[in-house]
Amino acid sequence: MQTNRTTPSRLAKRAQYDEATIHPILDEALFCTVSYAIDGQPMAIPTAFARKDDKLYIHGSVGSHFIRSIERGAPVCITVMLADGLVLAKSAFHHSVNYRSVVIFANAEKVTDEAERMEALALITDHLIPGRWEDLRPTTDSEMRKTTVLSFALNEASAKLRTGGPNDDPEDEQLPTWAGVVPLKIVRQTPIPKEGDALLPLPDYLV
């Protein structure tokens, strides 16, 4: 949704507010950064997360200072960024980055429904490693008691994207400097089994 605080001051044409743009970015990104403020002092924590419908979930230890600081409904700003490429222009000034980012303004809500809490943990696990959750032993009551799950509404979220090559000044176009894009990609490398576990077969979802 476009509101004052989701409207960028610069390059507003890069901003988008539709779920069809925002949700896939959230689903592809592995981590988000949750920013909050205590007495005007900004604080920020990178963390795992997952999205379902128009909610974003994070989790943490019930004892975490971060979690306790926001669980009563503190306003947060959650950012996600996928860096797709380095954009090399003819001038330093027009160098840029191809990216897909999402900024969310929301207030933390502590999830209390046990079924929703469990589902959120499954979503967070499967967001990082799709297919993992159903391979695991059930989470115990004791583990659940040690875990806080927070949700955030996505109704004040915006996406910002840049794609394509450099936008050079006309007078620079003929410079003999190489220009273009160096694509960036996060790759999952060969899994390393836990010591003593080398004989267990690699699950399909890791192949």
Cβ atoms of 56 and 19 within 8 Å: the answer is no
CB of 13 to a copy of itself, least distance (A): 15
- Cα–Cα distance measured from residue 40 to residue 117, given in angstroms and rounded to the nearest whole number: 31
Among 14, 17, 23, 37, which residue sits at the site for a copy of itself (rule: CB under 8 A)? 37
User: Would you say 51 or 99 has its CB closer to a copy of itself?
Assistant: 99
- Taking the least distance from each CB to a copy of itself, the nearer of 11 and 20 is 11
> Quick one: which of 19, 27, 30, 72 contacts a copy of itself (CB under 8 A)?
30
Edge-to-edge strands, sheet with 109-110: 50-52, 55-61, 147-153, 109-110
**Site for a copy of itself contains 20 (CB under 8 A):** no
Q: Three-state DSSP class for 172? A: helix
Q: Which one, 103 or 157, has the nearer CB to a copy of itself?
A: 103
Look up tokens 């997360």; give the residue: 49
Is residue 21 within the footprint of a copy of itself (CB under 8 A)? no
Residue 90 contacts residue 98 (beta carbons within 8 Å): no
Window 103-162: residues binding a copy of itself (CB under 8 A): 103, 105, 121-122, 125, 128-129, 132-133, 135-137, 139-140, 143, 146-147
Q: Round to whole Å and give the CA distance between 64 and 157.
A: 26
Is residue 52 within the footprint of a copy of itself (CB under 8 A)?
no
